[in-house]
Every structure is written in structure tokens, then in C-alpha cells.
């Protein structure tokens, strides 16, 4: 099912100086179908489910720090998702069980940090942050995997 993730601000890259206002990201399966003004995407995809997020929507984060501590590898990976991370640098998941949990969960494991962006046909990895910077939602390959407050 096609889903529109809408927010007051949508950043195409983490350091986007001119975010789109009242915009959305159209997701079809695990890919981005379109990014643009919400009104235009509602016209283009009238049957899409719409999820509205407060604050800013942008590409998922690449985590390049120690993985948060938790009782199990799965919970450690979930802690990353709660931060808005959709990728992790391989050097941070050297424990085989932690690496396996990341791969099972669909978290991208990268050789080195790289810029992330919301682009048409790109993998649908994105995160929404409220005005205080807290992650309110993480979408991993088109699936809502974390929903905060």
C-alpha cells in the first residue's frame, strides 16, 4: 500500500538549508515514489494512506557511535531505531550477534559513514523529529519500525 509521510518540514538531506514546507514523502513498498508538496502528492496519490508527523521529516540517520546498551542485541538495534538511525557503521557492530540483529532488522550496515538523502527510487529510510529533536518515528525500508510519543 502506498503511504504518504507528511510533516511541516521535509529535509531532502540532513543538512538541507532549504527544507520543503508542508511536504511529504510517498513510499511504495520499500522505495520512495516521490517527494514534494503534500497537496500535490495527495492529488497524485488520492488513495494513499497519510501519516502526519510533527516537526521535521528527513532521511534516516547513519549511526557512527557506540550502539546503546540494552539487555539483548535485538533491543540494542531497536534503541538505534528510537534515535532515528536506519544505518550503522560496521565498526560499531562487530559483535556477531549484534551484526546479525542489525541485518535481520533491515538496518543498513555501512563500511563507512555516507550522506543520506530522500531521493526518488531510493530506499525508503526516513525519520521524523519533533521541535525538541526527539525522534517520533522511524521508517526502515518503507516499514514504520518506531513510533514515539
β-bridge mates for residue 126, sequence order = 59, 139
Give the pairing type, strands 3-10 and 56-59: parallel
pLDDT grade, residue 56 (50/70/90)? very high
Residue 125 has pLDDT above 90, yes or no: yes
What's the pLDDT score for residue 17? 86
What pTM does this model have?
A: 0.94
Instruction: Give tens-digit pLDDT for 93-123.
Output: 999 999 999 999 999 999 999 989 999 999 9
Q: How confident is the model at residue 45 (pLDDT cuts 50, 70, 90)?
A: very high
pLDDT greater than 70 at residue 149: no
Contact at 8 Å (CB) between 25 and 4? Answer: yes
Spell out the domains of the chain, with CATH numbers in brackets: 3-60+117-147 (2.30.40.10), 61-110 (no CATH)
Cα–Cα dist 89/12, whole Å: 21
The answer to whether 55 touches 6, Cβ cutoff 8 Å, is no
Q: How far apart are CA 28 and CA 93, in angstroms?
A: 30
Which pLDDT does position 148 carry in this prediction?
Answer: 86
DSSP letters along 80-113, please?
A: HHHTTEEEEEGGG--SHHHHHHHHHHT-EEESS-
Amino acid at each position: 500500500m502506498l503511504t504518504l509521510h507528511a510533516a511541516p518540514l521535509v529535509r531532502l538531506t540532513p543538512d538541507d538549508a532549504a527544507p520543503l514546507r508542508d511536504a511529504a514523502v510517498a513510499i511504495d513498498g520499500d522505495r520512495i515514489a516521490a517527494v514534494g508538496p503534500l497537496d500535490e502528492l495527495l492529488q497524485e496519490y488520492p488513495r494513499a494512506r497519510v501519516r502526519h508527523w510533527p516537526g521535521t521529516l528527513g532521511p534516516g540517520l547513519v549511526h557512527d557511535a557506540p550502539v546503546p546498551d540494552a539487555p539483548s542485541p535485538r533491543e540494542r538495534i531497536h534503541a538505534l531505531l528510537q534515535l532515528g538511525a536506519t544505518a550503522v557503521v560496521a565498526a560499531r557492530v562487530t559483535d556477531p550477534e549484534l551484526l546479525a540483529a542489525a541485518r535481520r532488522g533491515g538496518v543498513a550496515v555501512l563500511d563507512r559513514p555516507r550522506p543520506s538523502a530522500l531521493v526518488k527510487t531510493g530506499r525508503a529510510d526516513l525519520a521524523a523529529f519533533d521541535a525538541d529533536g526527539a525522534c517520533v518515528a522511524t521508517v526502515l525500508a518503507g516499514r514504520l519500525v518506531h513510533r514515539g510519543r
